[in-house]
Amino acid sequence: MSRITVITSGKGGVGKTTAAAAIGAGLAAAGKRTAVIDLDLGLRNLDVALGLETQVFWHIGDVLKGTVSAENALIESERYPNLMLLAAAQTVKPETVTEEALRKLLDAISGTAEHILIDSPAGIGEYFQKIIPLADEGIVVTAPVVSAVRDADKVLHLLETAGVGKRSVIVSGVRPELVRTGAMMQPADITDVLGAELLGVIPDDDAVISCANEGRPVSGSNTPAGQAYDRIVRRILGEEVPIPPLKFKKKGWFRRR
């Protein structure tokens, strides 16, 4: 049986698709057969994040219509031999996206992958509501700002209501100097407020942008964000990996407090 994880967020722009790509690539690099499903219907960014946009022929809409099987619609990554992608449809009829249809899709893929990651749409729309009852685990990506944390709290509540037993949080875009001055929330304070496990802390890192533009996941890169995602993957695989403390710049004699 596959382990089905929905990766979601209360609002857009907090790094959800970056997280899905990084975790998927990291699991694949660790030797785990992994399928990543882009359920952000009407858009489609996960194929770009994984560098697979030129290989998309079939998409999830074709699978839900019965045009092609889920197994045949999966794109195999050459860079990560254990990684597969089911791309999102940029146009899809909402009536084809039912909970039963999604269940059949997941059942079809479960025989080919140990891990199934679902890049859910941001927010709490109808596609999110239909997929979460099918997930074993929910990972909520949030930013260290009050509005994002409030939205993440709503998402976590809906995951709990849907019976998703394991729920965790990734805090993305953390800037230690702003945390030090109190202008940005502490990751530990965020998870205390949310009542969920802290899966990882992703520092604000230019490598996230450069990797996205190059069509490669940030995991596996020798960068602060890449190393943070590598630790997250190890935690998902059951290792006890501590979250390192934030690194603050040392004050010099002439630096203002």
pLDDT of residue 255: 47
Cβ neighbours of residue 255 closer than 8 Å, sequence gap 6 or more: none
Q: What is the number of domains present in the chain?
A: 1
Q: What residues contact residue 12 under an 8 Å CB cut-off, 6+ apart?
A: 122, 123
Q: What is the CATH number of the domain that holds 221?
A: 3.40.50.300
pTM of the shown model: 0.92
pLDDT tens-digit readout, 180-206: 888 898 888 898 999 999 999 999 999
Instruction: Tell me what pLDDT residue 98 has.
Output: 85
Please give the structure tokens belonging to residue 230.
């590598």
Written in H, E and C, the secondary structure of 114-159 is CEEEEECCCCCCHHHHHHHHHCCEEEEEECCCHHHHHHHHHHHHHH
- Token code pair at residue 127: 């596609």
Please write the tens of the pLDDT for every residue from 17-50.
Answer: 999 999 999 999 999 999 999 987 766 789 999 9
Domain coverage including residue 227? 3-236
Could you tell me the strand order of the sheet in which 83-86 lies? 75-76, 83-86, 34-38, 115-119, 3-8, 137-142, 166-174, 197-203
In a domain, 245, yes or no: no
What is the model's pLDDT at position 250?
A: 59
Q: Look at residue 16 and tell me if it is in a domain.
A: yes
Note whether residue 250 is domain-resident.
no
CB-based burial label for 126 (10 Å; 0-12, 13-18, 19+): exposed
* Alpha carbons 76 and 251: distance in angstroms, whole number: 49
Q: Is residue 217 part of a domain?
A: yes
Domain membership of residue 251 (yes or no) is no
Q: Rounded distance, CA 95 to CA 31, Å? A: 37
Assigned domain for 179 exists: yes
C-alpha triplet 157, 161, 165: angle, nearest 5°:
90
